[in-house]
Amino acid sequence: MKALTVKQPWAAAIINDGKDIENRSRKTNYRGLLYIHAGKAWESSAVDAICKLTGKAYMAADQGMVIGTVELIDCHHADDCTFETGSKRCSEWAMPDHYHWVLANPGPLEIPFAATGKLGIWNLKGDS
């Protein structure tokens, strides 16, 4: 099974709060199911942005844990966004000058488990 490490609190926003874009500096050709691994790093600058979009406050939790699954259904550069809503972004979570990894169908795991993350999409081994 493939996995993606995402810094907290972004990982929690993907699984629990409708974050449907993962902004990355590189594109991916992978499509399919991914485990979301909440990295050990905490990005404090993300807290205000997530609070503004969701109305929720975030505290450090589930760092270093695989917390859920999501489908990676598309990837495009910000310059190639489709503007169905008339906005300049494909999602309120999208950032300019990034590749937008389009996510769908998030689901939390009943029992999160510890794992060591890696850069990019990586193979999660063992009983998962």
Residue 108 CA neighbour count, 13 Å, CB half: 10
Q: In 1-128, which ranges are E strands?
A: 2-8, 21-24, 32-42, 65-77, 99-114, 121-123
pLDDT at 48 over 80: no
Omega cis (within 30) before 9:
yes
For residue 65, the model assigns a pLDDT of: 94
Q: What is the pTM of this model?
A: 0.87
Q: How much is the pLDDT for 80?
A: 85
User: Does 72 score more than 50 pLDDT?
Assistant: yes
Ordered by where they begin, the domains of the chain are 2-123 (2.30.130.30)
